[in-house]
Amino acid sequence: MSNDADVLIIGGGVIGSAIAYFLCSSADFDGKVVVLEQDSSYQFASTPRSLGGIRLQYSVPENIAIAKFGLEFYASAAERLAVDGEGPVLGFREAGYLILASAFGQELLDENLAVQRDEGVDTLRLDQAALSERFPWLNVADLAVGAFGARNEGWIDPYALLQGFRRKAVSLGADYREARVVGLKRAGARIIAVELDSGDVVSCDTVVNAAGARAHQIAQMAGTDLPVRPRKRQIVRFECRTTIPDCPLVFDPTGLYFRPEGAGFICGMSPKPEDDPDCLDFEMDHDLFERDLWPMLAHRVPAFEAIKAKGGWTGHYAFNVLDQNALLGYHDAYDNLVLANGFSGHGVQQSPAVGRAISELLIYGYYRTLDLSRLGYQRVAQHQPLVERNIY
């Protein structure tokens, strides 16, 4: 008897939907794809809560290659993902990424720039004077250097990308079902079925874990663990009366980041590791802006002395505690469990390349276009992190 699904994807966020799309659009695949998504409104998923940031500035060559394919994909997404002549509007705003460093961080920034140069990425290196000239609204007094991707960096609408993948995947035959997975059934080293909260059971040939910040829960249902944990991140909106011309997405040496959004700005900050517990709630820290963010914003951009907070939101990273890099491919201990997890703060922009890569692994048994094997599970089993050093 054949299974209910040849490929069963748990989680229909941007990653699960990208995998479903690439599988269903391949001429070499004619299997049944079932996507189980517990909440089709995606209200609490990470994807719609993301900043949508797109950059080439990474330190691991695979991440740069992943980002390059992403750019190629966004440029043609309206056609590739069109259904009945209508494609998603990703709204790519090519305003750039500016990563700032004090004297302390200068060496690391230069090392990262060298990797990017080797990979053909022309990130600009701006010294203090050049920073001041290009961004006159910036306080550069305590800065040594900045890395600025003037082209091919900025942000997109993450929800439009998710819906674009999903709509196209459905039009190509993917079967999306609103259901929560509550258990996995094993027979030796194989997952043979998943159990749903309704009591139904869906049998499958291969399972893909694309459950975002809940990936470790799925792993636990299979009787294993993943070094992927839910970590809360908070974004605050604010308005400023002064115009800040040509403002890119700025990363400050303190961990603060900000970028324009609509008529105002949004900002946030990476917490210190000791203040970053596993967490799946959505509670806002209402003092964060006045206590931490505002003083840092005003220090970096004097015009931000006069700003007003205008709400915000929280969301979760699926934080890979080993090395903050994606965890991709077959789990060593199972014959048919595939991971697409641990994207930390860059899963939206990695979704096109990851969707393509995982579909290749499922169809051909190996990566055909971009070899992502260094991002595989073996580095967890062998405790060998592949650290991405340009992470915020």
Ligand X SMILES: Cc1cc2nc3c(=O)[nH]c(=O)nc-3n(C[C@H](O)[C@H](O)[C@H](O)COP(=O)(O)OP(=O)(O)OC[C@H]3O[C@@H](n4cnc5c(N)ncnc54)[C@H](O)[C@@H]3O)c2cc1C
Residues that bind ligand X (CB under 6 A): 10-16, 36-39, 42, 45-47, 49-53, 180-181, 210-214, 233, 235, 315-318, 343, 345-349
Minimum distance of ligand X from residue 383's CB (angstroms): 24
Tokens 């060298």: give the residue: 114
- Phi/psi at 330 (nearest 5 deg)? -70, 140
Minimum distance of ligand X from residue 195's CB (angstroms): 10
Name which of 293, 286, 238 is nearest 262 in CA terms: 238
Minimum distance of ligand X from residue 391's CB (angstroms): 11
Give the pairing type, strands 228-240 and 53-54: unpaired
Residue 114 or 280 with smaller CB distance to ligand X = 280
Say how far apart CA 200 and CA 208 lie, in whole Å: 19
Residue 140 or 161 with smaller CB distance to ligand X = 161
Name which of 39, 46, 47 is nearest 213 in CA terms: 46
CB 271 within 8 A of CB 109: no
CB 93 within 8 A of CB 155: yes
Residue 23 or 144 with smaller CB distance to ligand X = 23
Residue 303 or 310 with smaller CB distance to ligand X = 310
Task: Quickly list DSSP for 51-116.
Answer: --EE----SSHHHHHHHHHHHHHHHHHHHHT-BTTB------B---EEEEE-GGGHHHHHHHHHHH
CB 55 within 8 A of CB 195: no
Residue 38 or 336 with smaller CB distance to ligand X = 38
Determine which helix (DSSP H) or strand (DSSP E) holds 204, and give its type and residue range: strand 201-209
Say how far apart CA 372 and CA 66 lie, in whole Å: 9
Minimum distance of ligand X from residue 266's CB (angstroms): 9
Minimum distance of ligand X from residue 137's CB (angstroms): 22
CB 22 within 8 A of CB 293: no
Residue 20 or 138 with smaller CB distance to ligand X = 20
Say how far apart CA 246 and CA 135 lie, in whole Å: 8
Residue 84 or 281 with smaller CB distance to ligand X = 281
Minimum distance of ligand X from residue 347's CB (angstroms): 2
Residue 45 or 358 with smaller CB distance to ligand X = 45
Minimum distance of ligand X from residue 210's CB (angstroms): 6
Say how far apart CA 206 and CA 8 lie, in whole Å: 6
Say how far apart CA 333 and CA 390 lie, in whole Å: 31
Say how far apart CA 88 and CA 103 lie, in whole Å: 43
Name which of 63, 243, 249 is nearest 155 in CA terms: 249
Residue 144 or 250 with smaller CB distance to ligand X = 250
Tell me the β-bridge partners of 318.
230, 344
Residue 144 or 315 with smaller CB distance to ligand X = 315
Minimum distance of ligand X from residue 4's CB (angstroms): 15
Minimum distance of ligand X from residue 91's CB (angstroms): 14
